Amino acid sequence: MIPPKEVENLLKTFRSHNLDHRVLIEDLAPFVQAQRAENLQKKQFIQLPHIDVLGAFYTHSEINEYLNSLPERFPKRVQLKQFGWSYERRPLKVLTITNGDGKRDKPVIVIDGTVHAREWISPSMALYIIQQLLDNYSENQELLEDYNWVIMPVVNADGYEYSHTESRYWRKTRRPTSNPECVGTDINRNFGYEWGHDEGSSSDPCEDNYRGERTFDQPESQVLRDVLLNYKGRLNFYLSLHSYGNKFLLPWGYTSVFPDRYQDMMSVADAGAKAIVHSTNGIYSWGSTYYVLYPTSGDTADFALGVVNATVAMTMELPAAGFMGFDPWVSHIERLVTESWVGVRAMAAEVIRTYAA
């Protein structure tokens, strides 16, 4: 993963810290090419707008084609809105799922995916949740009785497309920066709550956690901000899907201090972790982002709690697979999303039980 011109500097760093190392793979390109070929081959048998979530990874345009088909299939239960455009003018769409009773102003569960481009299991998980709520409605109708679900499968559309076509491990957006050599901003450091801390983000456009020149200077973060603010006063559960790490990450990311509702949020995460371990023996860690992962500033969950006043706000780091953790094979999708759904469902049920409409 190191550019050839940087290898000698890296080795000097290893030596200066007395760090042993070994090369696991000489060239990652054939691995990525094989995954891409497998994915394209699997999609040959799928007729859009139908998709088989477990059968392939889908591009942003393919996901949108599927989303566009849902209001016709479920006219009383689905609403699709476009909240804006990406920098490269890709439409950013948000799906609302209800039980069709027509009641207005229900509390909502908001779920987003693909804030980071390379985390392909994130949109797969969002699509799987959609299918559970729509195609398996009879099994999950209690989750929709008093709550609406608002799901945005792809936030970082440009970066996600770029990871499909050019650079598999791309993380950021594709908007140019002040440095012509370095493109993109980390959406999850660009939100306007405690933005700009050097502990938890970077002011360097070449870093993967570059926070941008100012808050919300990315059209994609503006769209997600507007989605969250649209439900202020009704947002009882905000969940951002990431990979990887088997973690439920709660606010705050910017400080070691715990928020007022920390124990309430811990109870929700605890329900998800227990459900997963009982179902698959999957082990999750949960707690403050600052402690469980590392410091972050300007992230979406902190904004959802600190500005939108969500009752519960959380980032879910889905399990790792593939060579780098971000790069599962198609054959891994079913295991990853079915296990993760057990946790998401249990946490949603806990929120619904605790915070009745």
Contact 233, 308 (CB under 8 A): no
Rounded to whole angstroms, the Cα distance separating 211 from 209 reads 6
Peptide bond into 49 cis (omega under 30): yes
Q: Which long-range contacts (CB under 8 A, 24 or more apart) does 177-184 make?
A: 177/205, 177/210, 177/213, 178/205, 178/213, 179/205, 179/206, 181/206, 182/206, 182/210, 184/159, 184/210
Q: Is 8 a catalytic residue?
A: no
Q: Which two tokens stand for residue 254?
A: 């910017």
Catalytic residue among 317, 334, 339, 350: 317
pTM for the whole structure: 0.95
Q: Residue 351 — pLDDT band, cuts 50, 70, 90?
A: very high
Of the listed ranges 17-31, 65-79, 325-339, the one predicted with least confidence: 17-31
Average pLDDT, the chain: 96
Contact 122, 114 (CB under 8 A): yes
Please check the confidence at residue 337 and state whether its pLDDT lies above 80. Answer: yes
Q: Residue 1 — pLDDT band, cuts 50, 70, 90?
A: confident
Of the listed ranges 24-33, 35-44, 153-162, 306-315, the one predicted with least confidence: 24-33
Contact 206, 182 (CB under 8 A): yes
Domains along the sequence of the chain with CATH? 47-354 (3.40.630.10)
Q: Which amino acid is at 182?
A: C
Q: 20-70, pLDDT tens digit by residue? A: 999 888 888 999 999 999 999 999 989 999 999 999 999 999 999 999 999
Rounded to whole angstroms, the Cα distance separating 92 from 86 reads 7
Q: Residue 179 — pLDDT band, cuts 50, 70, 90?
A: very high
Structure confidence at residue 357 (pLDDT):
64
Helices (H), 22-120: 29-43, 60-73
**Dihedrals φ, ψ of 80, to 5°?**
-115, 125
CA 304 to chain centre: 14
Contact 101, 357 (CB under 8 A): no
Please check the confidence at residue 331 and state whether its pLDDT lies above 90. Answer: yes
